């Protein structure tokens, strides 16, 4: 999966050794150039690399026309399955779900239609306490127990999931709030996530400029993280007018303690 595609997307993917063929779903927050201008080139590169499996792109309404217009202007022919899923960014919804992951979207408050995302890794199956089971049970019995349901044998013996299993991998959540001005309405959508990425383009000295341009300050991002009771706040989208990102963390910590500043190539484990 990939979130947003700026102009340097391809070079960054290569730099950090991300396998192009592993990307099956791309989520675009909004149609400002620094968030999607790299998408047409990436789509074209997939073709040059001989891609055959489908690519799904999720983004605001108007995305397909914008991307296909650039591809047509360059006479770029796409010969693999390409699906655009245009989203009404005003309505929270589930965009994607499989056995292990759910991707939800919610509205952000920016100058153009913009959406945030929550990526939720589903809880893993429960683990069997095999040392407690003296006999060999049929496969479907283990499947029942791992799904949290009790198993009753033909002899009437009851194996309760609570007693004979232990919890599996816990749910983990990552929320991505790209360009947005301060808006407490997003708090219910990101409540309790393990990691919140929230833009902090400006410091509070430029509060009026942040509001005018539809962006947030670091202090406002800290306020959102505190209200949502997230585990960790990751700041990003810094204006280049500031020589260091340390001041952003300092400002956000006025309201929230666990703050990190994003940088290129950063890897985090939840």
For each of the chain's 270 residues, which pLDDT tens digit applies? 889 888 889 989 999 999 999 999 999 999 999 999 999 999 999 999 999 999 999 999 999 999 999 999 999 999 999 999 999 999 999 999 998 999 999 999 999 999 999 999 998 788 888 888 877 888 888 888 888 899 898 888 898 888 888 887 789 999 999 999 999 999 999 999 999 999 999 999 999 999 999 999 999 999 999 999 999 999 999 999 999 999 999 999 999 999 999 998 899 988
> Taking a C-beta distance cutoff of 8 angstroms, is the pair 89, 114 a contact?
yes
Structure confidence at residue 105 (pLDDT): 98
Dist CA 199 CA 217 (whole Å): 8
Catalytic residue among 4, 22, 34, 150: 34
Structure confidence at residue 221 (pLDDT): 98
Nearest residue to 265 (alpha-carbon basis) of 222, 230, 236: 236
> Taking a C-beta distance cutoff of 8 angstroms, is the pair 107, 92 a contact?
yes
Dmax over CA atoms of the chain, in Å, equals 74
> Taking a C-beta distance cutoff of 8 angstroms, is the pair 89, 66 a contact?
no
Nearest residue to 218 (alpha-carbon basis) of 260, 190, 185, 188: 260
Structure confidence at residue 227 (pLDDT): 98
Dist CA 97 CA 99 (whole Å): 7
pLDDT digits (tens, 9 = 90+) for 20-63: 999 999 999 999 999 999 999 999 999 999 999 999 999 999 99
Dist CA 179 CA 115 (whole Å): 9
Nearest residue to 110 (alpha-carbon basis) of 190, 219, 215: 215
Q: For residue 240, give both structure tokens.
A: 């280049």
Cα 47–52–58 angle (5° rounding)? Answer: 75
> Taking a C-beta distance cutoff of 8 angstroms, is the pair 212, 141 a contact?
no
Structure confidence at residue 138 (pLDDT): 86
Instruction: Please count the other Cβ atoms lying within 10 Å of the Cβ belonging to residue 40.
Output: 20
Instruction: Please count the other Cβ atoms lying within 10 Å of the Cβ belonging to residue 171.
Output: 12
How many CA atoms does the CB half-sphere of 51 hold within 13 Å?
22
pLDDT digits (tens, 9 = 90+) for 243-262: 999 999 999 999 999 999 99
> Taking a C-beta distance cutoff of 8 angstroms, is the pair 184, 224 a contact?
yes
**Catalytic (active site) residue 88:** no
Burial code of 85-111, b = ≥16 C-beta within 10 A, e = fewer? eebebeebeebbeeeeebbbbbbbebe
Dist CA 232 CA 193 (whole Å): 8
């Amino acid at each position: 999966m990939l979130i947003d595609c700026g102009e340097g997307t391809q070079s960054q993917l290569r730099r950090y050794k991300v396998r192009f063929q592993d990307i099956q779903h791309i989520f675009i927050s909004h149609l400002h150039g620094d968030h999607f201008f790299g998408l047409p080139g990436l789509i074209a590169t997939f073709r040059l690399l001989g891609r055959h499996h489908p690519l799904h792109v999720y983004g605001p309404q108007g995305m397909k026309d914008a991307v296909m217009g650039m591809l047509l202007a360059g006479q770029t022919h796409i010969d693999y399955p390409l699906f655009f899923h245009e989203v009404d960014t005003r309505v929270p919804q589930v965009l994607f779900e499989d056995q292990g992951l759910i991707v939800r979207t919610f509205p952000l408050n920016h100058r153009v239609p913009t959406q945030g995302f929550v990526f939720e890794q589903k809880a893993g199956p429960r683990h069997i306490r095999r040392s407690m089971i003296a006999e060999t049970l049929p496969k479907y019995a283990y499947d029942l127990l791992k799904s949290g349901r009790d198993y009753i044998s033909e002899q009437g013996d009851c194996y309760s999931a609570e007693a004979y299993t232990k919890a599996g991998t816990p749910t983990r959540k990552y929320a991505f709030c790209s360009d947005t001005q301060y808006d407490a309405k997003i708090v219910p959508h990101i409540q309790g996530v393990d990691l919140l990425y929230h833009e902090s383009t400006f410091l509070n000295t430029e509060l009026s400029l942040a509001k005018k341009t539809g962006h947030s300050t670091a202090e406002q991002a800290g306020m959102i993280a505190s209200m949502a009771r997230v585990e960790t706040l990751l700041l990003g989208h810094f204006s280049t007018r500031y020589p260091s990102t340390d001041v952003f963390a300092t400002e956000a910590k006025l309201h929230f303690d666990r703050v990190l500043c994003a940088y290129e190539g950063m890897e985090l484990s939840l």
